[in-house]
Amino acid sequence: MTQQVSPGAHGSSLNRYAAITGEITQIPISFPQRRNWWIAFAFALTLLLIFFVSAIVVFWNGVGVWGINIPVNWGLAISNYIWWLGIGHAGTLISAMLLLMNEHWRNALNRFAEAMTLFAVVCAGLYPILHLGRFWYFYWMAPYPNTMNIWPQFKSPLTWDFFAVLTYLIVSVLFWYIGVIPDLAATRDRTQKRRQQVFYGLFALGWRGSARHWARWQQAYRLTAAIAVPLVVSVHSEVSLLFAAGPIPGWNSTVFPPYFVLGAAFSGFAVVSMIATVLRYAFDLEDLVTARHLDLLGKLLLASGLMTSYGYISEVFFTLYSGVQHDVLTLQHRLGGTYAWSYWGAVICNFVPLQLLWWHNIRTNPLPLFLIGLSVTVGMWCERYMLLVTALYKDYLVSSWGEYHASFWEWSLYIGTLGVFLVPFLLFVRFLPMISSFEIKEALYEEEERGRDA
Amino acid sequence: MKQLPSQHPETKTRSAIRRHPEGKGERSFWRSLEELAGTEEFRRSLEAEFPSLAPLDLDRRTLLKAMGASLALAGLTGCQVQEDEKALPYVTAPEFNVQGVAKWYATAVTMGGYAQPVLGKTLDGRPVKLEGNPDHPFFEGRSNSFTQAALLDLYDPHRSRAPRYLGRTATWDAFDKAMLENAARMDASQGEGFRLLTGTVTSPTLQRQIAELLQHWPKAQWHVLEPINEDFRREALQLLFGRRLDAHYRLEEADVIVSLDDDLLGSGPRQTLHGRSWSKRRLAFQKGQGRCLLMATEPSPTLTGITASDRLIASHSRIETLASALAHQLDAGIGRAANLTPKEQTWVSKAADALTASRSRCLATIGAHHRPEVQALGLLINERLGNFSRTIRFTEPIATMPPEGERSFDRLCEDMASGRVATLVMIAANPAYAAPEDRGFRDHLGKVGLAVHAGLHYDETAALSQWHAPLPHELESWSDARSPDGLVGLIQPLIRPIYDVRSAHVVMENLRGQFGGDDHAIVQATWRQAWSGAFDQLWRTSLHRGFIERSAYPDIVIEAIRAIPPTPPSQSEPTLHLIVRPDPTIWDGRYVNNPWLQELPKPLTKVTWENVILVSPQLAEERKISNGDTIRLVTDRTSVTGPAWIMPGQEAATVVVTLGYGRGPFGSAMDQMGYDAYRLQAAESPWHRSDVKLETTGLKQDVATTQKHHAIDGFDFIRTVAAPDEEVKTGRNSPPPSFYPPTVKNDPSWGMSIDLDTCIGCNACVVACVAENNIPMVGKELVGQGREMHWLRIDHYHEGEPNDPRHYFQPVPCMHCEQAPCEMGCPVNAAVHSFDGMNLQVYNRCIGTRTCSSFCPYKVRRFNWFNFTENDPPEIQAVRNPNVTVRARGVMEKCTYCVQRVSDVRIQAKKEGRSIRDGEVVTACQQACPTSAIVFGNVSDPQSQVSQRKGSGRDYSLLEEVNTRPRTTYLARIEEDLAPQKQSKEGKE
């Protein structure tokens, strides 16, 4: 917005600040797209229902209703877990990392990116529980005093996964919530309805906007950001160890942690691009989420995509360079086996449309950006699936090779988790300020001050 | 306050407040004006709302009463919990019975009529495991898959439970009446039209009863039908020696064995015997004592052919030619020279040379399904080589036959067709199913006046008979039977009959109108008669031992050999050979209701729950057939459809079908599985026919197999050496470094060694493991999805050209890695290492993340995808080993090295204050193995057998490169013939 807003008199800029707050807080107060929102929400609720049905079926019968077997005893549950968690990463990256780096353009994106993170992590976190043979004992992963007198096994990547995801969920909730407090207060102050005043008032935690509040808030927000940033790296590194720690050809590779983190950021940026373009279109936020934002998102997507492609190349190179018989065979199975579609699907969906982002016109055009984001999301899904299945279905002993085909209940559960994501996200869009108005204003103010000084 | 006082509440309260003494200081706080006033209404309503605040106005007496009453009531609640208790404690406990301590009984189960000596383990009156009888001089405690699985038949929920008349449940009284009437008729006519049909009879008691019956009714006749029989072999012996004899092979004395399509080591009543004796020779050879050369020629791979170091592929008719050529080469006086291909010529010359070099310590054998003339030629070869009374010995026939001999079933069918049969009694035979189609038994059965069937199941024959009498399982009845070596085994019950059944011996008495006998007395009577004097003593010792010593028939020295008619030249090579064979896991169909055998992967195809039609790779290519394609085999009378399966190493124009499937309907899960190959059997030539056409249907069937890839693809999972003392190439001198500290080897530290050189892939270990460890069977559909639960699997590989590859077997239990990836992967400490070096799975702790299985390079872990054990019928629950946890849904399981057996022995040793002796712990798989391929023991003790095996140059670890340091290691297979070939291959590298 900085390009559009020219520095003007003090009074007019105050009005403009009020207008920004107004524009953002007005959305939840008097929602513009009621009909469309209800259609979308009904759709999301249907998906959520599918989730519950699928989850109950699994809980009732056991994971045997899925297509998993020996040797492929992890299936869509784990690949989707990684996929969702990866998507979550972009939110934290955009918010926390760019906050600490004082990149103010993030302010137009961070709120809904964080919300996306939150709900994606919830989706991800559900999977490891759903996939357990005895899900009712999932808490045995946690270190707690128990009659068995036993701790989790700290050598296991799953133990660290459990800690990582839990920490990530908590920090994401905190970070997102701290960030939204001032805007909740602004909404509270602007709404006319009693119920809304109580609702927003409760969650605004008595925010009055005093200087002391702002000072405390700044401290808390930046501190949480500083905690969140390393988590981006650690969480997906842990997740990659789920594979890399096993002595299975195609998994046992030191490149996995960075490869996974970059892939996660890549898929996350893709989903942020999709959400940004959709929200921008739906709520006429072109003046807040400007062409420059889309441009920057496109650049991030391109950069993280290229870094991910490096992971692909290095994996192939080192496999061939090592010449280890089993590893080479796994590579062959990836490139030409039963699941070659997932490998080539990942390569094509991830990296081919991505190249369009070299052009500025494409980057700033919402529709192509949305489509490329979609393509990358699909491509990264293929990648997660490919990494999991192609390593397990033909591992060492020829005799134990076998194929895996996801069953109906696995697909339905996956579709259902889209509902788990969409329902809270739509509620967020409906009831909370989806863009950080005060941070935009802060950025705007600083921009103006700088303009005046110059 | 919901209930307000009714009359002038306001005034009352107000005045009470006013009356309240001010400043008294006792109640400085009040919650309401009513409380302050302390009105009765307030108290009432307060008590109604909060009963616990009501004052307890109790005096001492009331309190004591109340306490007494509550104590009494508390005591009563203790009585309530046990209301569904049905068990009663022993009022007078049986002597020597200690609950939870196993008792072992020596007995036998039969296969094809022949006894397989076993020890039956019973716990609290339930038989839970069968193991070979170690005192038996020939079986030496070993067993095969059928013997191991016989236990489950006892508990088969589909067994027949009561007599039936015309399909409806009847009483034994009614049966008795019918038999009495029939006996009266037969008495009048001296048994005219009375026919008895049995399977192979080796039981002296049954033999006595049959003889008595035939004596009593001179016009009655006895017939025998054994679907998988050795009729041709008996005829060959008759042909050559002019009398009935049985031939016995002493494989332990044969330095050279040449098998012409004789599956010595394959399924059958002699499998354990042959496996045991062959492995003795092989183990001696490994120690450098003599040779052990096995050469084989066969149309389709068998366990014997795979074990052979030199395997020649030849069609059924070509084998006759080869036999003839071999005979001719050994002695120009017999056999005939033939045009052989260079490959055949090499093989025949090599065989002839080897046989000649090991004169009187060799054996040439021809499959029992070849024509009697050809088999006689085989015997003649042995005679010329001086093998008689050495590697091949002769005795009286173990199984008694009716006077018509091998053709007696044909005679029965003829008589039935012409209406000469008034009463047909079938004991433990199922001719309506298991007989060649063209005898027309089913059609003729209608012409029989009274058909009586006695059997374990209400089967096809029972359904067509007027009367069906349920027989008991061998583990719940008294009997006797000879094992294939001739020793009489005494069969004693381990449990009282579960259902309302009658022993075959009792039914035999009933037939003559005698009632009220019991099998114990009948069997005793036989031996009382035989032993006359010292019965009690001999009976006791024999029962205790499980067999009767010196009861085997003495060897007969052959003096005169008849001239055999020259073998007719084999017919010209047909376009398609159809070969009929027993099924490797369900035999002739009698085990079709046994899930342990149904889910047991067939040794070569790894197919479960059905039979397939084996085709050669050449034929498959020519007719564009792939695995699972439905194909049809058509004869002029009938056709059979089934799924095709490509068998590498099968003769190009040969198609193999196996018997035993396509049964039912019985209302069980085994209904109509597979195809019925009996329909393809021709009466005159049951094992081979050349007038069959193969048609493709374009349809496809799902075949459940536990191993989808068999080609080894150049991996070194199976290693070979060229000589017993050669070192296997490991590629590394020391194990690669590891992040984890080296494993401390406590004493004891358990380990296993599996000798691929003696493993014949017979599956005995797999079933033994299932029986010992309560492994659930999951059914065809789940096996097809890759969810079979076997802890121990036998991998089958082939290497080289699909048309003529080398086959290998490799049993794969858990490797019990010292650096186990599964242990590292488990987040909840369910996969742990024991102090004595075992990698164990703690079921209670497992939450089912399945990381252990993902990380396992050997994929030996099995997961309970559903609750496999919850809905088992009570019969199946009864077969479970109480010393092994029954796993519920959602937990991982795997081979534990039979930790329960280790614990048993450890406790015993502790009680006796000593250390565990070598060989004291025997795992279930090791115990069953007929060839001693599996050895288990303490690897910390350098003197133990397992340590010595691991010290051998042939010892190697599977997937050594993964650096898991397995405790289960293998001994490389010895392939002498490959020596030059291998060296040149290595030279190239």
pLDDT of residue B48: 60
DSSP annotation of A96 reads I
Label residue B983 exposed, middle or buried (CB < 10 Å: 0-12, 13-18, 19+): exposed
Q: Do B853 and A71 touch (CB under 8 A)?
A: yes
Interface of A with B in 251-290 (CB under 8 A): none
Contact yes or no for A64 and B845 at CB 8 A: no
pLDDT digits (tens, 9 = 90+) for B955-977: 999 998 888 889 999 999 998 86
B786 with A61: Cβ contact below 8 A: no
Given this model, what pLDDT does residue A437 score?
78
Taking only the tens place, the pLDDT of each residue in B600-615 is: 999 999 999 999 999 9
For chain A positions 295-354, those within 8 Å of chain B (CB to CB) are 324-326
B639 vs A: CB within 8 A: no
Element (H, E) at B241: helix B231-241
Task: Say how far apart CA B428 and CA A129 lie, in whole Å.
Answer: 54
Those of residues 374-393 in A touching chain B at CB distance below 8 A are 392
pLDDT at B979: 46
Best residue of A65, A252, A398, A405 to probe chain B, by most B CBs closer than 10 Å: A398
What DSSP letter does each residue of A257-324 carry, written as one string?
HHHHHHHHHHHHHHHHHHHHHHHHHHTT-TTTS-HHHHHHHHHHHHHHHHHHHHHHHHHHHHHHHH--
Whether chain B has a CB inside 8 Å of the CB on A69: the answer is yes
User: What does residue B392 show for φ and ψ, rounded to 5 degrees?
Assistant: -130, 125
Q: What is the DSSP string of B853-898?
A: HHH-TT---EE-SS-TTTT--HHHHHTS-TTSPPP-TT-EE---SS
Q: What's the gap in Å between the CA of A442 and the closest CA on chain B?
A: 47
Distance from CA of A64 to the nearest CA of B (A): 4
* Pick among B851, B868, B894 to test the A interface (most A CBs inside 10 A): B851
**What is the residue extent of each domain of chain A?**
10-453
**What topology does CATH give the domain B580-700?**
Barwin-like endoglucanases (2.40.40)
Of the residues A399, A401, A410, the best mutation for testing chain B's interface (the one with the most B CB atoms within 10 Å of its CB) is A399
Question: Which option is the CATH number for B720-988: 3.30.70.20, 2.60.40.3080, 3.30.9.10, 3.40.1710.10?
Answer: 3.30.70.20
CA B183 – CA B189 distance, rounded (Å) = 10
Among A residues 154-183, those touching chain B with beta carbons less than 8 Å apart: 155-159, 161-162
Residues in B touching A242 (Cβ below 8 Å): 851
Q: Which of residues 784-803 of B touch A (CB under 8 A)?
A: 785-787, 793, 795-797
Of B821, B850, B958, nearest to A247 by CB-CB distance is: B821
Chain A within 8 Å of B858 (Cβ-Cβ)?
A: yes
Burial-class residue B954 by CB neighbours within 10 Å (0-12, 13-18, 19+). Answer: buried
Alpha-carbon distances, residue B581 vs A178, B229, B484, B767 (angstroms)? 77, 11, 20, 22
8 Å CB contact of A397 and B827:
no
Taking each helix axis as running N to C, give the angle between helix B231-241 and helix B372-384, from 0 to 180 degrees, rounded to the nearest 10: 60
CATH 3.40.50.2300 fits B246-395, yes or no: no
- Are B864 and A62 a contacting pair at CB < 8 A? yes
CB contact under 8 A, A398 and B796: no
Q: Does B887 touch chain A (CB under 8 A)?
A: no
pLDDT score at B73 = 63
User: B847 and A132: CB-CB below 8 Å?
Assistant: yes
Rounded to a whole number of angstroms, the CA Rg of chain B reads 35
Cβ neighbours of residue B734 closer than 8 Å, sequence gap 6 or more = none
Q: Using the beta-carbon criterion (under 8 Å), do B824 and A156 form an inter-chain contact? A: yes
CB contact under 8 A, B821 and A153: no
Question: Phi-psi category of B609—alpha, beta or left, where left has phi over 0 and alpha has psi -120 to 50?
Answer: left
CA distances from A293 to A18, A63, A369, A429, B840 (A): 22, 44, 11, 19, 56
Mutate to test the interface with A, among B705, B823, B859 (most CBs of A within 10 A): B859
Whether chain B has a CB inside 8 Å of the CB on A134: the answer is: yes
Decide if A325 and B786 are in contact by the 8 Å CB cutoff: no
Which of A72, A388, A390, A400 should one mutate to test binding to chain B, selecting the residue with the greatest count of B CBs within 10 A?
Answer: A400
The alpha-carbon gap from A260 to the nearest alpha carbon of chain B, in Å, equals 19
Decide if A63 touches B, using CB distance below 8 A: yes
CATH superfamily of the domain spanning A10-453: Formate dehydrogenase/DMSO reductase domain (1.20.1630.10)
A160 to chain B, closest Cα gap in Å: 9
Residue with tokens 């499998």: B271
Residue pairs between chains A and B whose CB atoms are closer than 8 Å: 167
Where are the strands (E) in B561-652, listed by range? Answer: 577-581, 613-615, 629-634, 639-646
Phi, psi of B168 (to 5 degrees): -100, 145
The parts of chain A modelled with pLDDT lower than 70 are 1-14, 453-454
A67 close contact with B: CB closer than 8 A? yes
Instruction: Please give the residue of chain B at the shortest CA–CA distance from A252.
Output: B855
Q: Do residue B889 and residue A397 have CB atoms under 8 angstroms apart?
A: no
Report CA A151 to chain centroid distance, whole Å: 31
Residue B831: closest CA among chain A residues belongs to which residue? Answer: A153
- Confirm or reject contact between A397 and chain B (CB < 8 A): yes
Report the residue from A68, A158, A324 with minimal CB separation from B851: A158
**DSSP code of B158?**
T
- Chain B residues with CB under 8 Å of A392 CB are 854
Instruction: Please tell me the pTM assigned to this model.
Output: 0.88
Strand segments (E) across B717-786: 720-721, 750-755
User: What number of other Cβ atoms are within 10 A of residue A233's Cβ?
Assistant: 17
Written as six digits, the tokens of A232 are: 């981006």
> Other CB atoms closer than 10 Å to residue A367's CB: what's the count?
10
**Which value, in Å, is the radius of gyration of the alpha carbons in chain A?**
23
| B890–A63 CB contact, under 8 Å | yes
Give chain B's residues under pLDDT 70.
Answer: 1-58, 63, 66, 70-90, 566-571, 666-671, 730-733, 977-989
The shortest C-alpha distance from A340 to chain B (Å) reads 19
Distance (Å) from the alpha carbon of A236 to chain B's nearest alpha carbon: 17
**pLDDT score for B982:** 41
Chain B's closest residue to A77, CA to CA, is B849
pLDDT of B38: 62
Tokens at B453, concatenated: 């069937």
- B828 with A242: Cβ contact below 8 A: no
Per-residue model confidence (pLDDT) at position B56: 53
Q: Which residue of B has its CA nearest to A398?
A: B709
Domain with CATH 3.30.70.20 in chain B: 720-988
CA distance A4 to chain B (A): 54
Distance from the Cα of B948 to chain A's closest Cα (Å) equals 27
- Nearest-CA distance A116 → chain B (Å): 27
What is the helix (H) or strand (E) element at residue A168, kind and residue range? helix A157-190
User: CA-to-CA distance for B243 and B557, rounded, in angstroms?
Assistant: 13
